[in-house]
Each structure stands twice: as C-alpha cells, then as structure tokens.
Amino acid sequence: MSGFATRAIKAAGRVPASPQPPVTVPIYQTSTFEVGSTQDLEDILEFRVPGHSYTRYSNPTHAALEDALAELEEGEAAHLTASGMAAVHGAILSFVGSGDEVLAPAAVYGGTYGLLNGVLRRLGIAARYVRTGDPEAVLAAIGPATRLIWLETIANPTTEMADLGAIAAGARERGIPVVVDNTFASPYLCNPLSLGADLVVHSLTKYVGGHSDITLGAIVGGVARVRAAREVVINSGGNAQPLEAFLALRGLRTLALRMDRHSASALAVGEALEADPSFSRVWYPGLASHPQAALAARELRGGMAGGMMAVELTAGREAAARFVERVQVAVHATSLAGPESLVSHPASSSHRQFSDADLAAAGLSPGMLRVSIGLEDPEDLIADFVEAAA
C-alpha cells in the first residue's frame, strides 16, 4: 500500500484516539460509517442494535441531541429531522393514511395548514379545524374518520392555548392519539408528554437553537411512536445534518436562561403596549387579560409564557404595514425565537394561505402582527414599538 493516493485517503481518514473526553459533543461531519459484516449493517439499518451506518438514518451528533431532547421532554426517544415541517410531516403520516381525518387548530401554523390542505389532501387525508381553546369543542368535533388530534401548546400566531391534559384525556377515552407542536413553549416551559400527548414535535430552528442560524426539527415520544415516525422521515429523506445538531446542542445549554429573559421581557412589553392607545389588543398568555391566563399559569413553568405575542393596531391593516417598515430595534422578518426581536404580518407571511374568512374563523385579523420578543433591553423595544405605531 505505497501509492500516494491510497496513502493520502487512508491517512486523512484515520480517526485519532483521544484519552480526554471533549467538553462539547463533536460534529460527526460524515455521511457514512464503517461497519463489519453484512449482518452488522442490516442490524444497524433496522435499529436492532446500537450503531451508525449512514447519516440519513442516524449519526452520533444527532444521537446526543436526541437523547437530550428525550430527557428534557420526559419522553423515551427522539428523532431529528431536517426542519420543523419535516417533523410535522413525519409525525402526522405515522398515524394517518388515505380516508383518515386530522383535527387541527383553527389558528394552526401556516406551514402545517399548507401540508394538510395541500400535500396531504392529495393523498386522501382530510383535515378539519376547530378552536382548540375549548377542550369540549375539540372532543365534540371528533368524527368517525378522525384518527389524530393535532394541537399547539401556544397557537401560532394567536397565542390561544390548548388544555393539553383535558384534551389528551378525552381523546384517549375515544382511542384518538394526540400530537402537540411544542415549539412556542419549548421543553423548558411545557412538557406535553407528561400531560398525556402521544408525540411532541419541535421546530428546533426556534427556541432550542435560539440564534437564528439553523434549520432543524425533532419528534419526541415513546419508543414505538418515535420508531413509526422515524420510518416516515428516513424514507422521505427528511433527515437532519450534523452541524445543525451540534448548534442545537449549543443552544440547548442556554435554553433556560434565554426563556427566562424572553418571558420577562415579553411580559414587560405586553403590559406597556396594553396601556398605549395605538394598540387595540395585545395577546400574550402571561398577561392577566389573556383569555387563558389561568391555563397558562397552570400549564407553563412558573407562569412564564415565552416570548411570542400578537398585537392589533388601532388603525388596522394599513397601520400594521407601516409598523413593520418603521421598527428600528426589532427586525421585520419571518421565523422567531432568536436573540433579535422579529415582527411579521401573518396574513401576508406565515398564514398567507388563509382567506379572510379563514383568518376570521381562526381568530386572526388582517391587521394582526406577530411579535417575537428577543433578548434586547425591554425598554428599547417598548420605545421602538410605540414610536413605530404612532
């Protein structure tokens, strides 16, 4: 084995031994792994034994984050996905098929609405929408074809909250599984599995990543449930990448500190905007004026409610359009949960698929703004929003 090319490939691919464990999980930036026998490879590919063969299936950096998420969400297992929407797709299709129906929030995230009403409808999967703030209304809406109830801990963007425990208990009596999108709350503020949910999904792009620099998702739950969802994700190519998993592990370490700050700042901003005549309404679960303030205090850690709020300007849609152009501290952009505050207009962005009738049915208005409160000084944000709305 003396040829230069052969020696270069072997030498550059040699993994060094390290007697000291690293403080942070390394990035296993490799697409494939060496295995022994053909039986070894088959067993690894079928997840019968621990190990890795191909990063579309698993990767050590992925595994570290999956283990951490399962622990923090009080689940047995987790699987990473390329994005939050890949997690939504994998979770839903692990429960339903042609002829089945999904019950979802009337104010469901626009990407989930697009998946249900666009892609999955073509596969013969129906969706019906209900205001999930009323547990009895959700349970009463279950029909003969209903095979899944989809919930959001805090609805995007109306901040309406679902009574996860009550809905999950009633659904279990009827044999209907419940999946919860816990993105707005994060594992720090709420653990839906402990309240009876069958699966939890996250856009880790948001609070877990926390720095507006990754696109990543996750599915968390019991071993059998995650295995079924993982099969959908693997076979549809919705796999995560090692760098994103590494960055999400970094974000997870400071999640508690950031969520404390997001929550405290959002409460301060919400109280200030409620007192300003330019704002006709502020929706934030941490405010006493929120319709489900008592539920938020019970369902979310320590009464904190995260950094997401919705506001309505007194002057309506035109004022909302001006507002997003005039902010100086906050940024007009999609996404959420980064260190910078972001504002967006759902009717033209995340919920652009909704007609005006759909918006009204979901509790949105054409002039509603979604606000992601970041980590800036809250006094600066208040001044920025008041001036932009004037």
For residue 199, what are the contacts with CB-CB under 8 A and spacing of at least 6?
91, 94, 177, 179, 180, 219, 220, 221, 225, 226, 229
* Annotated active-site residue in 113, 131, 163, 181: 181
Distance CA(157)–CA(309), nearest Å, equals 7
Residue 206 a catalytic site member? yes
For residue 98, what are the contacts with CB-CB under 8 A and spacing of at least 6?
123, 124, 125
- Cis peptide upstream of residue 242 (ω within 30 degrees of 0): no
Contact indicator for 226, 58 with CB cutoff of 8 Å: no
Write out the two tokens for 328. Answer: 């100086």
* Annotated active-site residue in 56, 250, 281, 322: 56
Residue 284 a catalytic site member? no
Contact indicator for 130, 105 with CB cutoff of 8 Å: yes
Report the run of H or E that residue 310 belongs to, with start and end.
strand 308-313
* Annotated active-site residue in 28, 57, 100, 109: 109
Q: Residue 59: what residue type? A: N
Residue 56 a catalytic site member? yes
Contact indicator for 309, 266 with CB cutoff of 8 Å: yes
Residue 10 a catalytic site member? no
Distance CA(167)–CA(299), nearest Å, equals 13
- 74 burial (CB, 10 Å; 0-12 / 13-18 / 19+) is middle
What are the catalytic residues? 56, 109, 181, 206
